[in-house]
A and B are shown apart, each in its own frame.
Chain A
Amino acid sequence: MTKAQRYFGKLSRYYLWFTACFGAFLFALAVLEKEGMSRVWIGYLFMFATIVLYATIGVISRTSNVTEYYVAGRRVPALFNGMATAADWISAASFISLAGGLYLHGFDGLAYIMGWTGGYCLVALLIAPYLRKSAQFTIPDFLAARYGGGAGGRGGPVRAMAVGATIIVSFTYVVAQIYAVGLIASRFTGVDFSVGIFLGLASILVCSFLGGMRAITWTQVAQYIIILVAFLIPAMWLSVKLADNPVPQIAYGAVMPKLAARETQLLHDPSEIDVRQRFRQRADAFTARLAALPASWDAGRREAQRQLDAVRMRNGSLSELRVAERALIAYPKTPLDAARLWREQRDANLLRAAVPEAHATPFPGPDRAASDIRRNNFLALVLCLMLGTAALPHILMRSYTTPSVRASRQSVFWTLFFILLIYLTIPALAVLAKYDIYTHLVGSYYSALPNWISYWANVDKINPLISIVDINGDGIVQLAEIAIDGDVLVLATPEIGGLPYVISGLVAAGGLAAALSTADGLLLAISNALSHDVYYKMVDPQASTQKRVTISKLLLLAVAFIAAYAASQKPADILSVVGAAFSLAASLLFPALALGVFWKRANHIGAMAGMLTGFLVCVFYMLHTNPILGGNAAAQWFHIAPISAGVFGVPAGMLALVVASLLTRAPDPATQGLLAHLRAPE
């Protein structure tokens, strides 16, 4: 006990030192900025310093011991394990996109807050303590031990399916994280997107390659501290500025009534209504052209050609000529292309013509039925995110790293505690930023736009993060004239609040830490499943421990490069299904994990039937109803959106597990003995 306490004290001292040094580093950069250091160099320094830091921790914690490599020696104290899991959990999406999502979607966005925190109840109550008691190495390991079956009762088939599930879920997720690394690096330092990806990859690899779980645990604790500081400083500043209270989680309560009043005011503002009307007219024009296809396509092309000829005839200036040429080149090549393009443009205009919804109103809709559909979707999404959280391999495998079952229960508590330090701030940040934009930006003059708008509008030329165009030509910013991408909110908060650029660099470092820490955990989950479950347990059970660790490191390298390559291709299809990873994880793994502990009669046939059915139902529903994947939104069951396919997949998987188990033989005495061991206290 005293040994554990000494260890805990030593770790606490290290991380306090680290935090102090980090503070000194920030202070030094702030001084340098005052002395005239350029933005680009601050960006470089942050990128470089944090990546070197993670690599250093990786080098210090290098190991080739199997237990250290796979489960960090099972001696990470609960508090630090909670911190590391929180960093593992807080992905680029949580850090950068979630506040923006709340800004854009109001009450609907809160489904993510509820779902991503409530899932930890399921982890704590149903899964984590039993995983720790089993003292295995991976999730497929646990399922194979619990269910048995296959040749010699070693659970080969169950293990293979669980490995497949782990890879499907983790790979889509890790591609999205590496993509985010590239995006952040390129936005803040101006390096090329793919260079950014490989820079990030290098730091991930040094860290996890050398030290496996042990190294990423200690890196993740450091990353959590950076994430927390980077998220809280701008939010607190904004909170002081707008509400005279440095605790944003509490302060935004006072801002909400003011925001609601401002929203009502803008709703009835004549120039707002005018701008929205103009967008509707544009949409109507596209509707008319769509209705007149293919004649309208022909007419449009001839018109574009005539414009070009006219410019040539009157010897127009070079720039005029170029504009006319470009218009002709960009014109859709076939009526089919035209239909697609115009439909997109019509929808985009309709979206901007829509009346903005009040931030705090739950499920607004034209009538009760439409509102009910939104409520049901909200609930379905919350449940899917919760069940998915309780089935994500890279989160669950962290329960193996604690010293005891008791510590694993405490660790989940600390995980949620540290997650909530960020997640309770996100709704506050969204409200504060929204109030600031609604009162300070809206109604200001185009001649005096703040600097951050032009900066962030030019960062990404293809998908501008923010664009403001004077639609009605009155020289004043209307709310309807602002098109904002959710991501810009967190990235620009320091500048919205009037903080020095150092804090913007800090936010970038925080986003990078969030993406890297999650990517670390995911890559390790994948490579452990491949090396431990496939290679050691299925291919070569006689492999020496040295060989196992070496194989694992090589696989990690391979998986990392494949993921980086996939991310550098900017795969639109993978990125659009990342949200669906939670539904998939829930449908694939949750029934087998939860029923495996709480239902004695569940056997390996049932587990396989459950995984397969859950997966098929989930994928079928997504393909069937998601227009991006070739489905049709009209085919939805109970009007549930495809992202929540898990609400059908999980019950189907559970039902299949129960039915198939009851139809086949009860588990053998060895399995029952193991289950009794899992349930027994230490």
Chain B
Amino acid sequence: MPEPIDTPADRRARLLAARASHWRTTRRVTASLLTLWLATTFGAVWFARDLQNLSLWGWPLSFYMAAQGASLVYLAVIGAYAWVMRRADQRYATALDGAA
């Protein structure tokens, strides 16, 4: 059995595979966080009248969601995106290093 030789074509194939996998992750993360974003926005507005009698530490829940809650969720979405993508970038870097 011949020794596996790391040809330029192999390296290129590995690079493309790592990129494709990274892009799949990106797409998945983007899609799920966008869903969360849309659900928060839509839910806070569409069901505002149904939530107005629930109260959260004095606030009517619907008012709180529109005034502060939704914005805090948005901040969490962006924070989660930055964190998850940093991890994905690190995985990509190790995948390339490990193979080289």
- Chain A residues near B (Cβ < 8 Å): 107, 110-111, 113-114, 117-118, 120-122, 124-126, 129, 249, 253-254, 256-257, 360-363, 371, 375, 378-379, 382-383, 386, 406, 409-410, 412-413, 416-417, 420, 423-424, 427, 598, 676, 679-682
Contact = CB atoms under 8 A, between A and B. Distances in A.
5 contacts: A118-B74, A375-B45, A379-B41, A406-B82, A416-B78
B30 A126 contact: yes
At the interface, is chain A mostly helix, strand, loop or mixed? helix
A107 B48 CA distance: 10
Interface in B2-17: none
Contact of B82 (A118, A256, A410): A410
A423 B71 contact: yes
Contacts of A253: 56-59, 64
Contacts of A129: 85
Nearest to A413: B78
Given A125-B34, A363-B49, A679-B23, A114 B41 contact: yes
B54 interface: no
Contacts of A406: 82, 85-86, 89
A413 B82 contact: yes
A352 to B, nearest CB: 25
A409 B81 contact: yes
B75 A681 contact: no
B48 A117 contact: no
A382 B75 contact: no
Given A118-B74, A413-B75, 17 more contacts: A107-B62, A110-B63, A114-B71, A253-B59, A360-B63, A362-B66, A386-B41, A406-B85, A409-B78, A410-B82, A412-B82, A416-B78, A423-B71, A424-B72, A427-B68, A679-B19, A680-B23
B89 A681 contact: yes
Nearest to B79: A413
Contact of B68 (A111, A249, A409): A249
Contacts of A257: 58
Contacts of B66: 107, 110-111, 113-114, 362
B33 A121 contact: yes
Nearest to B62: A362
Contacts of B49: 362-363, 371, 375
B74 A120 contact: yes
Contact of A420 (B52, B75, B93): B75
B52 A117 contact: no
Given A420-B72, A424-B71, A362 B52 contact: yes
A409 B85 contact: yes
Interface of B: 19, 22-23, 26-27, 30, 33-34, 37, 40-42, 44-46, 48-49, 52, 56-60, 62-64, 66-68, 70-72, 74-75, 77-79, 81-82, 85-86, 88-89, 92-93
Contacts of A122: 37
Nearest to B22: A681
A406 B26 CA distance: 13
A416 B75 contact: yes
B48 A362 contact: yes
B97 to A, nearest CB: 13
A417 B41 contact: no
B63 A379 contact: no
List 9 tightest A-B contacts by C-beta distance, closest first.
A362-B48, A427-B67, A253-B58, A110-B66, A117-B71, A409-B82, A360-B63, A121-B37, A124-B78
Contacts of A110: 63, 66-67
Given A362-B52, A420-B72, A681 B58 contact: no
Given A113-B71, A361-B52, A412 B78 contact: yes
A77 to B, nearest CB: 14
B41 A118 contact: yes
B57 A682 contact: no
Contacts of B40: 118
A121 B46 contact: no
A362 B33 contact: no
A650 to B, nearest CB: 14
B79 to A, nearest CB: 5
A125 B30 contact: yes
Contacts of B85: 129, 406, 409
A680 B22 contact: yes
Contacts of B56: 253
B42 A379 contact: yes
A118 B37 contact: yes
Contacts of A249: 68
A256 B58 contact: yes
Contact of A118 (B23, B26, B27, B71): B71
Contacts of B26: 679
A118 B72 contact: no
A362 B44 CA distance: 11
B19 A680 contact: yes
B37 A360 contact: no
Nearest to A372: B49
Contacts of B34: 121, 125
A107 B30 CA distance: 30
**Most chain-B Cβ atoms within 10 A of its Cβ — which of A253, A375, A676?**
A253
Contacts of A676: 19
Contacts of A420: 71-72, 75
A361 B63 CA distance: 8
Nearest to A361: B52
Contacts of A386: 41
B78 A424 contact: no
A379 B58 contact: no
B89 A121 contact: no
